[in-house]
Amino acid sequence: MDRIQLLQGDITEMHVDAIVNAANRSLLGGGGVDGAIHRAAGPKLKEACAKLNGCETGQAKITTAYRLPSRYVIHTVGPVWHGGEIGEKQQLASAYQNSLILAKEHKLKTIAFPNISTGVYAFPKELAAKIAIQTVLEFLDDDDWFEEVTFCVYDDENYKIYQDLLNV
Ligand code: AR6
């Protein structure tokens, strides 16, 4: 728990090794946090993403971060919520897990996550938070690589949910 941080704010302003983007399978940009990251990083990010051939749901790909203060952007694709019976929970856990694996492969020590799938993709916020926290905690329990994992929460509802679940 001591390597987990909760923060409310804009992930594009974070000075960490990697910020995670809640992207779509095209990786060509969109709204929400994805739009904010592309705007702040500048047009070169989209050029880099265009070379990645998209990304499957639950998987992750990496680019440098261009004008952002972070060093890298890890682009992951969370599931669209369809009621929870078609593997959405596992796919959300995979998005967190594969982002962490990719960060470690690139020797990155600090990483910040937005609340993947809880905006346009309509995943229930409390359930998404439980899955996010459990997946990150399990990873950190098994592995001492990461120095700090930040949940960068934007909206008040998610912030309250994370405060309650993390007991902070
Ligand atoms: N910093 C941190 N979190 C943010 C920011 C920000 N600047 N802006 C929004 N959020 P969403 P999704 C939070 O919709 O549900 C895009 O169009 C927001 O409050 O960005 O995974 C993609 O291209 C919410 O809690 O992502 C995809 O098509 C969280 O980010 C689709 O949306 C996620 O909301 C992905 O949908």
Joined together, the tokens standing for residue 135 give: 């997946």
In this predicted structure, what is the pLDDT of residue 65?
A: 98
Asked if 24 and 34 count as a contact pair (C-beta separation under 8 A), the reply is: yes
Work out which ligand 1 atom sits closest to the CA atom of 78. 21
Compute the distance between CA of residue 155 and CA of residue 164 in angstroms, rounded to an integer: 15
Return phi, psi of residue 147, to 5°. -85, -40
Residue 1 is predicted with a pLDDT of 78
Report the pLDDT value the prediction gives residue 28, as an integer from 0 to 100: 97
Atom of ligand 1 nearest to the CA of 121: 15
pLDDT of the chain along its 168 residues, tens only?
A: 799 999 999 999 999 999 999 999 999 999 999 999 999 999 999 999 999 999 999 999 999 999 999 999 999 999 999 999 999 999 999 999 999 999 999 999 999 999 999 999 999 999 999 999 999 999 999 999 999 999 999 999 999 999 999 999
Q: Compute the distance between CA of residue 20 and CA of residue 150 in angstroms, rounded to an integer.
A: 10
- Structural domain spans, the chain: 4-166
- Name the residue of 25, 120, 155 whose CB sits within 8 Å of the most ligand 1 atoms, as the mutation to test its pocket: 120
- Written out in words, the top-level CATH class of the domain with range 4-166 is alpha beta
30 Cβ inside 6 Å of ligand 1: yes
* pTM of the predicted structure, to 2 decimals: 0.99
